[in-house]
């Protein structure tokens, strides 16, 4: 698992941090990365602040195999992601001639400077468009950074377009089980199970259900047999505490 490619998602936008808009992309990316065998190791929500975007991007692109950014590539004054990505790579921003031609044909007299902003990409080598059937305005890739729109339907379509470019490892599999037990009552036994199965990541998630305590256990790894064995032992642990373990799927 340690040799698998890694990824980080940067969610860019003041509207996310203010609570006005709820992110709907991270869950999708996480699930797809797992299927592709890429380990999503970190996600950050950052503001529309040029210095923050540049510094964060440079840190993350050096740390992980892939970096996905969402948001900030639209036509308005606060859409500064493309400019910041170019700055992070020491590049200038240019208008992609092919995208400009496409926009000219589509918008005609309605094409203006604001819309042309969506044709901008960093200059130089290693830059390619990320197309989507959802929009004529593309995202783009520069080296190991993939720049996507923030609108969920467009971001997801762009991700599917770029997915074949990602080199993955073994897909990350998961299983789960839950019961009406207190998390603290199974914590010691759960730690022992985790130690026994080091290649299986075991997470514990308490909640309240039907007026009582409930604990869900999620096991993730690349070996289905080991996941099942670990969950079988968790089920035994829960039964010992009076629980009736069942899959939470």
Residue ranges of the domains in the chain?
Answer: 6-165, 173-240
Please list, in sequence order, all residues whose beta carbon lies within 8 angstroms of the beta carbon of residue 87, skipping any fewer than 6 positions away. Answer: 50, 54
Block means of pLDDT (10 residues each) for the chain, 249 residues, are: 86 95 95 96 97 98 98 94 98 96 95 95 96 94 97 97 93 94 95 96 93 94 95 96 88
Give the model confidence (pLDDT) of 132-156 as tens digits. Answer: 999 999 999 999 999 999 999 999 9
Q: CATH assignment of 6-165, given 3.40.980.10, 3.90.850.10, 3.40.50.150, 3.40.50.300?
A: 3.40.980.10
The predicted structure's pLDDT at residue 1: 46
Tokens 């720049």 locate to: 147
For 54, 121, 159, the CA distances from 89, given in Å and listed in that order, are 9, 12, 22
CA distance 129 to 119: 10
Helix axes 183-196, 224-240, angle to 10 degrees: 150
* Helix ranges (DSSP H) in the chain: 14-17, 26-36, 50-63, 81-88, 97-107, 113-116, 152-162, 183-196, 224-240
List the helix and strand counts (H, then E) for the chain: 9, 11
Strand order in the sheet with 201-209: 173-179, 212-221, 201-209
* CATH 3.30.70.1130 assigned to 173-240: yes
Q: Do domains 6-165 and 173-240 have the same CATH topology?
A: no
Average pLDDT score over the chain = 95
The predicted structure's pLDDT at residue 175: 95
The predicted structure's pLDDT at residue 2: 58
The predicted structure's pLDDT at residue 249: 63
Give the model confidence (pLDDT) of 76-90 as tens digits. Answer: 999 999 999 999 999
């Amino acid at each position: 698992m340690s040799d698998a490619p890694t990824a980080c998602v940067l969610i860019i936008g003041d509207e996310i941090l203010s609570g006005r808009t709820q992110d709907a992309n991270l869950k999708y990316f996480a699930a797809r990365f797992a299927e592709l065998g890429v380990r999503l190791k970190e996600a950050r929500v950052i503001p529309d602040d040029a210095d923050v975007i540049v510094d964060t991007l440079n840190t993350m692109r050096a740390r992980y195999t892939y970096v996905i950014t969402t948001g900030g590539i639209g036509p308005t004054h606060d859409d500064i992601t493309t400019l910041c990505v170019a700055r992070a790579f020491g590049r200038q921003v240019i208008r992609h001639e092919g995208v400009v031609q496409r926009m000219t044909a589509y918008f005609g007299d309605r094409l203006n400077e604001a819309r042309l902003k969506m044709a901008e990409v960093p200059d130089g080598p290693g830059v390619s468009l990320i197309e989507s059937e959802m929009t004529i305005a593309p995202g783009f890739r520069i080296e190991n950074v993939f720049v996507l729109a923030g609108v969920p339907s467009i971001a997801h379509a762009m991700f599917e377009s770029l997915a074949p470019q990602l080199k993955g490892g073994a897909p990350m599999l998961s299983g789960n089980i839950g019961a009406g037990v207190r998390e603290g009552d199974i914590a010691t036994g759960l730690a022992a199970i985790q130690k026994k199965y080091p290649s299986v990541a075991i997470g514990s998630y308490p909640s309240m259900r039907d007026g009582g305590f409930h604990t869900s256990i999620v096991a993730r790894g690349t070996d289905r047999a080991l996941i099942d064995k670990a969950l079988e032992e968790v089920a035994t642990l829960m039964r010992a505490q009076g629980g009736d373990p069942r899959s939470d799927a």
